[in-house]
Structure 1
Amino acid sequence: MLSIGLIREGKIPADNRVALTPAQCKWLHKNFTDIKVIAQYSDNRCFTDKEYAMAGVEVKEDISECDVLMGIKEVPKEQLIPGKTYLFFSHTKKEQEHNQQLFRAIIQKKITLVDYECLTHEDGQRILGFGFFAGIVGAHNGMMAYGKRTGQYHLNRVYQQKDYRNLIHTYFGLKLPKLKIAVTGSGRVAHGVLEIMNLMGIHEVEPFEYLHRQFDYPVYVDLKGRDLYARIEDGTYNRDDFHDHPEQYKCSFAPFAKQTDILMNGVYWDKDIPPLFTKEEFQSDSFNIKTIADITNDAHGSVVVNIGDSTIEEPVYGVDRNTLQKTKPYQQNSVDIMAVGNLPNELPRDASRYFGEQLIKFVLEDLVKGGSPVIERATMVKRGELTESYAYLKDYAGI
């Protein structure tokens, strides 16, 4: 019997998504006699304690009896239970400074950490993630921000809608001005952005057309890796080589920055990958972008003028073109930045259902069996010891 505890989110502000919905827990109990799910009391979940109880899930405060503890965001280090197996997004694989103490506590408390972000198929494709709904909400917020800046149309907030289906209905009759939108990336985030582009009736055009034509209606271009990066030496692009040697590549986004009104950024970024544009290019008179929805949201990352998180309550801030300082949004000499770190929280029930489906389909059975190559690849720490794949984190872990 594998007992799974759904922990209460401890990070502030609290995340309201869940790893498994009440309906999914009920299905697990019915179809797997060797799985039991227990939910810790929580006032913040998008599904209430009552909904879990009605689905046959035991709800209580003490879940220390559980073998596996599942959350969403980072667990505060003082709330970690020694010796347990945890699954959550730790945001430590890139040696993120703000989570270093958490990572060291995981090691000190002899915990096993399986990071959702590191659960991949054999070819490296990620199994789990909220990226699609981050793309949905991020694209909506980017369009909303441009509408507020120009006054040419109006969009309400996503969280004011009951669910994704209701959000779609708000686009009926929406009339957009002629504008150009650049969408970057090829993963789940980009797929979510493209969903909104199509629902809003925005037409896709090829990169050459985008750069060399003007249109009487709104258009977008979908820029993937080979459209954005080229080897410095010979101008070619190979995906595997790019991820292995990003420092040998340059970014080719500059011509698009001159033709774009809104940038929807969903591109993967790591510290050695060149940014989409430099600060000098941002300050140039030819930089045309007015609104940036940085859905990838790496501070000073692929969008160098992302100077930190915004919030669901206040999702947009400005960056002054001259001083590069933070301003209020929608100012004359600023560019608006949407950089929310928990975008799927605006559609938490839909996002949680999607996440739980992938978890059940690709991960839970392996957990019940006691492991698999998929689980091994995602296990950063095993009973307080760094695993071989994550030995590069030795200094970060203080070992």
Structure 2
Amino acid sequence: MDNLLHIGLIREEKTPQDNRVAFTPLQCQWIMGHYPNVSITVQPSPHRCFKDEEYEKAGVRVSDNLSHCKILLGIKEVPKEQLQPGKTYLFFSHTKKMQAQNQAMLQDIIAKKITLIDYECLVHDDGQRILGFGFFAGVVGAHNGLLEYGRRTGLFDFKRVYQCHDFQELITHYFGVKLPPLKIVATGSGRVTAGILEVMGLLGIKYIPPDEFLINDYAYPVYTQLKAGELYLRRSDKTYSREDFHAHPEAYDCKFLPYVTSADVLMNGIYWEKEMERLFNWEDLTKDNFRIQVIADITDDKHGSVPCNLGDATIESPSYGVNRFTREKTEPYDEDAVTMMCVGNLPNELPRDASQFFGDHLMKYVFDDLLRGESDLINRATIVREGELTERYSYMRDYAAGVIPQEP
């Protein structure tokens, strides 16, 4: 038996197909060059954005057999029949909120004595998340939101992002694009919203302060940004504290409603928990002054901050309509419907750039801790250790035991 630490990059097998990866071929090459005790094996995949040949050219072993690997890295949830007993897995498990669709997978992880480290739970000491694809979700979501508005109104059209080889090709697609006058409101201030603002800048869409945005119309495309402190105020004293808001979101009122009468497109990048007040309610949708025609719900919480999010669409068909009066799904551009763009894997439209960004952060901030095997960083993100829920995630015991979670 050799003394190498064997790491495997697993093939993504969840449906719909995802083609991102934790490490690019050149990142694997760099790791093995700088960590002589580490060997990486990649499972072959016909769907991955980097071809098997690119890994082989970089000196990375490609093999279906990962039985020799101690640590297995993926991106999306792993189908339970693919889970290998006794391994340490890193992927986005989407279990910490006790999501019903992943309950059986977590039960299998426990039964197979697996250690699960969740990317979403890897945070710096100040609580900021280390890993994510939010920036590219924002880029693709903003592009798709504009594309849907253009198609709904017949005023312009865009190429789909996934038809571009990479982000640079998308940028060249914007050269010379002249958009009609429209008003866009973007919510949030994190990575998703940073991606939205990147597209605003690339297309030359002008920023307008929120108070001016509400009362004026413009002869050119404009946007405004509403950060959490502008969206939510404490009911008791009309102030905002980030720490208090996250601890007691139910004590805050949402101040978004005036914007439904002044914006054509909503690009939603705000963090949301079920105790938080929604941006607007179903009843608001039925009013004559509800102006928003297209909602790009990039954070994509079903029945979340945007009540008319009725669930995921797909990359190939990213939008659907929601009738403002019957609350039922319709064709995307029906006159009485708001056009909803809700896709859970938006970064998959720019997989090469998104994978490189993700792998860079994984190498810089997580990899050394992962090799050591014991650190506060890794412990905070370990949901299951060798088949046992860790103390931090003990609140999930009933969920792990098979109790059916209640829908919010």
TM-score of the superposed pair, with normalisation by structure 1? 0.98
- In structure 2, give the amino acid aligned to 1:260: A
Secondary structure of the corresponding residue to residue 360 of structure 1: helix
Secondary structure of the corresponding residue to residue 148 of structure 1: helix
Which residue pairs with 2:203 in the alignment? 200
Which residue pairs with 2:239 in the alignment? 236
Which residue pairs with 1:316 in the alignment? 319
% identity of equivalent residues: 58
1:389 maps onto 2:398 in alignment:
no
Could you tell me how far apart the structure 2 residues matched to 1:106 and 1:269 are? 28
Which residue pairs with 2:361 in the alignment? 358
- In structure 1, give the amino acid aligned to 2:139: I
1:16 maps onto 2:11 in alignment:
no
Which aligned runs of 4 or more in structure 1 are off by greater than 3 angstroms?
none
Could you tell me how far apart the structure 2 residues matched to 1:3 and 1:245 are? 44
* Aligned mate of 2:69, from 62, 66, 69: 66
Could you tell me how far apart the structure 2 residues matched to 1:270 and 1:95 are? 13
Could you tell me how far apart the structure 2 residues matched to 1:274 and 1:118 are? 24
* 1:179-227 per-position Cα deviation (integer Å, ceiling 9, x unaligned): 1101011111000000001101001111111112221211111111011
1:279 maps onto 2:289 in alignment:
no
Give yes or no for contact 2:272–2:304 (8 Å, CA) kept in 1.
yes
Offset at 1:231? 1.2
Offset at 1:105? 1.1
Could you tell me how far apart the structure 2 residues matched to 1:329 and 1:12 are? 23
1:289 maps onto 2:296 in alignment:
no
- In structure 1, give the amino acid aligned to 2:355: S
1:102-251 equivalences under 5 Å are 102-251=105-254
Which residue pairs with 2:5 in the alignment? 2
Secondary structure of the corresponding residue to residue 183 of structure 1: strand
1:37 maps onto 2:35 in alignment:
no
Give yes or no for contact 2:285–2:325 (8 Å, CA) kept in 1.
no
- In structure 1, give the amino acid aligned to 2:386: R
Could you tell me how far apart the structure 1 residues matched to 2:331 and 2:254 are? 29
Could you tell me how far apart the structure 1 residues matched to 2:311 and 2:62 are? 37
Secondary structure of the corresponding residue to residue 61 of structure 1: coil
Q: Number of residues paired by the alignment?
A: 399
Could you tell me how far apart the structure 2 residues matched to 1:15 and 1:68 are? 20
- In structure 2, give the amino acid aligned to 1:111: I
Secondary structure of the corresponding residue to residue 153 of structure 1: coil
Secondary structure of the corresponding residue to residue 367 of structure 1: helix
Offset at 1:175? 1.0
1:83-98 equivalences under 5 Å are 83-98=86-101
- In structure 2, give the amino acid aligned to 1:4: I
Offset at 1:268? 0.7
Which residue pairs with 2:406 in the alignment? none
Secondary structure of the corresponding residue to residue 90 of structure 2: strand
Could you tell me how far apart the structure 1 residues matched to 2:197 and 2:392 are? 34
1:337 maps onto 2:343 in alignment:
no
Could you tell me how far apart the structure 2 residues matched to 1:102 and 1:81 are? 12
* 1:70-114 per-position Cα deviation (integer Å, ceiling 9, x unaligned): 000000011111111000000111111111111111111111110
Could you tell me how far apart the structure 2 residues matched to 1:319 and 1:187 are? 27
Give yes or no for contact 2:23–2:359 (8 Å, CA) kept in 1.
yes
Measured on the aligned residues, the alpha-carbon RMSD in Å equals 1.0
Listed as ranges, the gaps of 5+ residues in structure 2 are 403-408
- In structure 1, give the amino acid aligned to 2:177: L
- In structure 2, give the amino acid aligned to 1:356: G
Could you tell me how far apart the structure 1 residues matched to 2:280 and 2:39 are? 50
Could you tell me how far apart the structure 2 residues matched to 1:394 and 1:281 are? 39
- In structure 2, give the amino acid aligned to 1:15: D
Could you tell me how far apart the structure 2 residues matched to 1:284 and 1:112 are? 51
Offset at 1:153? 1.3
- In structure 2, give the amino acid aligned to 1:110: K
Relative to structure 2, which stretch is displaced further, 274-283 or 314-323?
Answer: 274-283
Secondary structure of the corresponding residue to residue 192 of structure 2: helix
Could you tell me how far apart the structure 1 residues matched to 2:190 and 2:197 are? 11
Secondary structure of the corresponding residue to residue 69 of structure 1: strand
Could you tell me how far apart the structure 2 residues matched to 1:225 and 1:116 are? 24
Offset at 1:297? 0.5
- In structure 2, give the amino acid aligned to 1:147: G
Offset at 1:371? 2.4
Could you tell me how far apart the structure 1 residues matched to 2:381 and 2:286 are? 41
Listed as ranges, the gaps of 5+ residues in structure 1 are none
